[in-house]
């Protein structure tokens, strides 16, 4: 059993340190109108940046919630073009330093709709050693909205008192359409403290303290739209991370876009302080209700797998975060750590125990 654990851990711990990038950076593929059986495609150019050669296999992963019959995709890699809905290759691709072109094709067969698929590169024919992945937006499922500043930071003035400080968040609708927008503020229960307060001024209204959702819809057409996010510490020092999430409906079920707001420096302010995987520590381990990380400046996201390889939880990570696992069954799990560029840093065994 110990050998099995070791092998399983190795599968998740491939050096996704592979220095690979791709272009275009945003992969969008739109069916021509009217929707028929036309074949449309996008060229994906992978660039191996270091002087090495990867043996690459790939899989196409489709979202079961948005994928529809009779749609079809197929991939032409550096060796072969595969048939409709052949979602993995059989002939290895050798990718050395430089650029390598894949063609991703989509056939709607007269069925309208949108979806997002992922093309995942692996280092072995068992598809266990992930190297790199890209998302492909078919027919606009990913909303064309961006925001500035790119990193949203808000710092209370010193000394900490009851001052109201705020940050302007400018959302930019990049395509010629109009969204009806509702929003919610999500606060991290592990770092949020009383008597702190936030409030939001959207395009229509300024809401009261800790009113974490809106009631009056915001119309957001092409162009820039200003929101203001306010924070009052009420003389309580500390840091936290909140998320402002935009929805397309008043039931808050159709998410459009989300941003993180770093209050008083909970998120790492630099990506230059690279932490080696061997330095990151998970504690407590064994864990009952939650676990935390130490030496974690370069960790952005966590994925937790059970012993069968099934993903059971995903966590967004920030400084001092406590990741809740109390709802999971006791047993051995594998925790994979990623940096902000979605590169794997380390995989560790996490032992979940009952109280």
Using alpha carbons, list the distances in angstroms from residue 298 to 4, 18, 96, 340.
29, 16, 27, 7
Q: What is the pLDDT of residue 99?
A: 96
CA distances from residue 310 to 12, 28, 325, 333, 334 in whole angstroms, order as listed: 12, 29, 15, 10, 10
Identify the pLDDT of residue 34: 54
CA atoms within 13 A on the CB side of 73: 24
pLDDT over threshold 80, residue 143: no
Question: Residue 118's pLDDT is what?
Answer: 95
Digit-coded pLDDT (tens) for 16-44: 445 899 998 778 887 765 556 678 899 99
Mean pLDDT of 104-116: 88
pLDDT top residue among 274 and 319? 319
Range with top average pLDDT, 6-15, 77-86, 131-140:
77-86
pLDDT at 272 > cutoff 60:
no
Strand 93-95 relative to strand 72-76, pairing: unpaired
Position 202 pLDDT exceeds 70: yes
Confidence of residue 161 (pLDDT cuts 50, 70, 90): confident
Please state whether beta strands 130-138 and 27-29 pair in parallel, antiparallel, or not at all (unpaired): parallel
Whether residue 341 has pLDDT greater than 70: no
- Rounded average pLDDT over 220-247: 92
Residue range 56-88, pLDDT digits in tens: 999 999 998 889 888 999 999 999 999 999 999
Task: Please list, in sequence order, all residues whose beta carbon lies within 8 angstroms of the beta carbon of residue 351, skipping any fewer than 6 positions away.
Answer: 285, 286, 287, 331, 332, 333
Q: What is the pLDDT of residue 220?
A: 96
* Mean pLDDT, the chain, whole residue set: 85
Quick check: helix, strand or coil at residue 279? helix
- Could you report how far apart the first and last alpha carbons of the chain are, in Å? 25
Checking if the pLDDT of 315 tops 50, the result is yes
- The more confident residue out of 191 and 321 is 321
Question: What values do phi and psi take at 278, rounded to 5?
Answer: -70, -20
Q: Which of 19-23, 49-53, 237-241, 343-347 has the lowest mean pLDDT?
A: 343-347
Q: For position 339, what pLDDT does the model report?
A: 80
Confidence of residue 144 (pLDDT cuts 50, 70, 90): confident
Q: Could you give all domains of the chain from N- to C-terminal order, each with its CATH number?
A: 15-138 (2.60.40.2310), 145-263 (2.60.40.2410), 277-352 (2.60.40.3080)
pTM value?
A: 0.45
Token duo for residue 88:
């993995």
* DSSP three-state, residue 354: coil
Using a pLDDT cut of 90, give the percent of the chain over it.
53
Amino acid 7: pLDDT = 44
- Which residues have CB under 8 Å from 212's CB, separation 6+? 184, 185, 186, 187, 198
Q: What is the pLDDT of residue 38?
A: 77
Enter the tokens of residue 164: 């109201």
The pLDDT assigned to 35 comes to: 58
pLDDT of residue 320: 85
Nearest to 261 by CA among 323, 196, 324, 198: 198
Classify burial at 331, counting beta carbons within 10 Å of its beta carbon; exposed 0-12, middle 13-18, buried 19 or more. Answer: exposed
């Amino acid at each position: 059993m110990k050998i099995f654990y070791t092998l399983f851990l190795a599968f998740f711990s491939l050096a996704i340190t592979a220095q690979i990038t791709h272009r275009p950076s945003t992969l969008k593929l739109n069916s021509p109108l009217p929707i028929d059986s036309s074949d449309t495609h996008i060229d994906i150019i992978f660039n191996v940046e270091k002087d090495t050669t990867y043996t690459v296999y790939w899989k196409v992963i489709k979202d079961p919630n948005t994928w529809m019959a009779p749609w079809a995709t197929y991939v032409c890699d550096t060796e072969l073009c595969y048939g409709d809905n052949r979602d993995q290759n059989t002939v290895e691709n050798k990718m050395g330093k430089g650029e390598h072109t894949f063609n991703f094709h989509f056939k709607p067969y007269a069925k309208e709709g949108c979806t997002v698929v992922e093309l995942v590169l692996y280092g072995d024919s068992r598809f266990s050693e992930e190297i790199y992945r890209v998302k492909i937006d078919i027919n606009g499922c990913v909303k064309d909205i961006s925001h500035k500043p790119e990193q949203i930071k808000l710092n209370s003035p010193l000394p900490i008192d009851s001052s109201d400080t705020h940050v302007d968040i400018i959302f930019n609708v990049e395509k010629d359409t109009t969204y009806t927008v509702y929003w919610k503020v999500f606060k991290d229960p592990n770092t949020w403290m009383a008597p702190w307060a936030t409030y939001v001024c959207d395009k229509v209204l300024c809401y009261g303290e800790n009113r974490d959702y809106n009631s009056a819809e915001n119309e957001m057409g092409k162009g820039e739209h200003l929101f203001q996010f306010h924070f009052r510490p009420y003389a309580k020092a500390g840091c936290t991370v909140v998320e402002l999430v935009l929805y397309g409906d008043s039931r808050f079920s159709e998410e459009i876009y989300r941003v993180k707001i770093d209050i008083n420096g909970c998120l790492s302010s630099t990506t230059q302080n690279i932490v080696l995987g061997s330095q990151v520590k998970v504690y407590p381990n064994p864990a009952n209700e939650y676990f935390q990380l130490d030496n974690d400046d370069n960790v952005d996201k966590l994925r937790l797998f059970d012993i069968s390889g099934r993903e059971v939880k995903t966590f967004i990570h920030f400084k001092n975060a406590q990741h809740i696992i109390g709802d999971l069954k006791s047993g051995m799990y594998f925790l994979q750590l990623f940096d902000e560029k979605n590169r794997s840093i380390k995989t560790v065994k996490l032992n979940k125990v009952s109280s």
